[in-house]
Amino acid sequence: MKILHIIRNPNDTTPFEMAKSQSVEHDVAILLLHDAVYLSPDFRAFACEADARARGVNLLEYVDYKGIVKMLFEYDKAVSW
């Protein structure tokens, strides 16, 4: 199963703990939105291009809005935090 965790709050550690535990058995990725783009997780992570550029973040793989929609359809399950 492919699971996408959509994270907006950089102060909440629960999504990362959940994603790491699920990655043992599943294909898991993280999509960072809003202020969460400041994070640089040691995990397969993507950042909303508009949010990252607006905040001057250049360290992550960017995804534009079309790419985000595509990801929502590619993954079997999406969890928004």
Does residue 25 surpass a pLDDT of 90?
Answer: yes
Give me the mean pLDDT over the 45-64 stretch: 92
Give the mean pLDDT of the chain: 93
Residue 25 DSSP symbol: T
Q: What is the pTM of this model?
A: 0.91
The predicted structure's pLDDT at residue 33:
97
Alpha helix positions (H), the chain: 14-22, 49-54, 65-74
Amino acid identity for residue 60 in this structure: L
Contact status, residue 36 vs residue 21, Cβ threshold 8 Å: no
pLDDT above 70 coverage of the chain, percent: 100
